[in-house]
């Protein structure tokens, strides 16, 4: 079964807009679990514009499902992950000024770095995933770096989906099949929504985990958080 990991960055963005602690990110994470989410994802950035390092520490102590920490592996991020020891770390090639993630790792060019950082995380028993574009070559070099999973960057799929779902999903199926051939686990995330998630899962039912934040939180404004999580999980059956 494909697991749903809810990215709660947007909850922290709302909190930070006014200061204080409303909404409380730990309480929302616990509610997500209570409503059926099988994991919680956070993406702390150096400028702390949404999830803060302190939030990550509190979440690790509070939640009962898998914690996935994603982000650019700068020194402070690496230290945080090694301290907190989440179930999974997802390596994302974000520049500090990026509004959001917009491409996967060049796993061939960054082979040496990825191999080294993966080994460090493995020493602490942390599952390592790397964010990649839907390119079998990038999947090949991710496997050579020793990672456990790849996470396919699905924004191109989401953008193309309204104009032709079969063409949109084709490169992702190809990359996903290559990951399976290499024995890698497979995650997916970025711009997945109630509009496009079911079709992706129908074509790729072997995906281990989807990480969804922005669209899910937006839907929750109208449907409520519990019903929204239920509808996303129904897309993964």
- Catalytic residues, by residue number, are 43, 70, 190
Residue 204 region, left (φ>0) first, then alpha (ψ -120 to 50), else beta?
beta
The C-alpha angle 172, 188, 194, rounded to 5 degrees, equals 95
DSSP three-state, residue 3: strand
Whole-number Å distance between alpha carbons of 214 and 195:
13
Residue from 171, 231, 161 nearest 199 by CA: 161
Cα–Cα dist 165/206, whole Å: 18
Closest CA to 131 of 213, 188, 214, 67: 188
φ and ψ at 149, to 5 degrees? -140, 160
Distance of alpha carbon 99 from alpha carbon 190, whole angstroms? 13
């Amino acid at each position: 079964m494909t697991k749903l990991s809810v990215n709660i960055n947007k909850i922290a963005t709302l909190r930070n807009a006014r200061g204080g602690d409303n909404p409380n990110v730990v309480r929302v994470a616990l509610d997500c679990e209570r409503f059926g989410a099988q994991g919680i994802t956070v993406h702390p950035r150096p400028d702390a514009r949404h999830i803060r390092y302190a939030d990550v520490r509190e979440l690790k102590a509070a939640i009962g499902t898998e914690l996935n920490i994603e982000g650019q592996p700068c020194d402070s991020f690496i230290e945080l992950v090694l301290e907190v020891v989440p179930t999974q770390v997802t390596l994302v090639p974000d520049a500090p000024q990026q509004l959001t993630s917009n491409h996967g790792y060049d796993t061939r060019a960054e082979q040496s770095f990825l191999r080294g950082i993966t080994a460090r995380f493995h020493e602490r028993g942390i599952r390592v995933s790397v964010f990649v574009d839907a390119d079998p070559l990038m999947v090949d070099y991710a496997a050579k770096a020793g990672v456990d999973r790849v996470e396919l960057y699905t924004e191109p799929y989401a953008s193309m989906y309204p104009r032709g779902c079969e063409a949109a999903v084709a490169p992702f199926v190809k990359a996903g099949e290559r990951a399976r051939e290499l024995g890698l686990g497979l995650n997916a995330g970025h711009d997945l929504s109630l509009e496009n998630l079911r079709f992706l899962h129908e074509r790729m039912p072997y995906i281990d985990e989807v990480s969804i934040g922005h669209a899910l939180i937006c839907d929750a404004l109208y449907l409520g958080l519990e019903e929204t999580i239920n509808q996303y999980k129904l897309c993964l059956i």
